[in-house]
Amino acid sequence: MGTTRITAPEGMPFIDIEREFAAPRALVYRAYVDPELLKQWLGPRKYVMEVEVWEPRDGGRWRFIHRDSEHAYGFHGVFHGPQTEERMLQTFEFEGAPGHVSLEALEFIERDGRTLVKNHSVYQSIEARNAMIESGMEEGMNDGFDRLDELLERLAAQEPAGAGAGR
């Protein structure tokens, strides 16, 4: 499993997250844009994810819900600009705290068949950024990324050699 690096400089309203995956960029990107794959890894294991809408294109909307036996947590946003194997840009809002919108820029960097995912999230205030950190974000993100590692390993085993190139 990879190591997640989370940086939240004091006094700055952003969080930087990096994680390297043992998979080519095309496969990692596919796990981010295919809703059937996304619901297999995004978020903590203790929740089941329901994808209501996932339109990874300029102006496309997204909404998903994490559920357990007692709770449901909704999230939504809008994709901005072209969503490519190199970059994605979207807003993010937790429906339990409406009005606290962040802007997330993802970058997918392939090196020797591995992919570094860099996420730069900008918040409306330092307080909103701190609330995200204090929400248990790190634990949920690590759990989700561990699940993504597992999914990518399964997907890579299913693909013939070189099949992910050029997608």
Q: What confidence tens digit (pLDDT) does each residue in 4-50 have?
A: 999 999 999 999 999 999 999 999 999 999 999 999 999 999 999 99
Give the other-Cβ count within 10 Å of 8's Cβ: 19
Task: Using pLDDT thresholds of 50, 70 and 90, give the confidence band for residue 2.
Answer: confident
What pLDDT, on a 0 to 100 scale, did the predictor assign at position 1? 67
Higher pLDDT, 35 or 133: 35
What pLDDT, on a 0 to 100 scale, did the predictor assign at position 163? 53
Residue 165 has pLDDT above 60, yes or no: no
Q: What is the mean pLDDT of residues 61-87?
A: 97
- The answer to whether residue 119 sits within a structural domain is yes
- The answer to whether residue 67 sits within a structural domain is yes
Q: Which token pair is 15?
A: 């969080």
Segment 82-131, tens digit of pLDDT: 999 999 999 999 998 888 999 999 999 999 999 999 999 999 999 999 99
- The answer to whether residue 157 sits within a structural domain is no
**What domain range is 84 assigned to?**
5-129
Residue count of the chain: 167
Q: Counting Cβ atoms within 10 Å, is residue 24 exposed (0-12), middle (13-18) or buried (19+)?
A: buried
What pLDDT, on a 0 to 100 scale, did the predictor assign at position 135? 85
How far is it, in rounded angstroms, from Cα 80 to Cα 77? 10
- The answer to whether residue 141 sits within a structural domain is no
Number of domains in the chain: 1
Strand partners, 110: 115
5-7 β-sheet, strand order? 5-7, 14-21, 114-122, 101-111, 87-94, 72-78, 61-67, 48-54
Give the other-Cβ count within 10 Å of 138's Cβ: 16
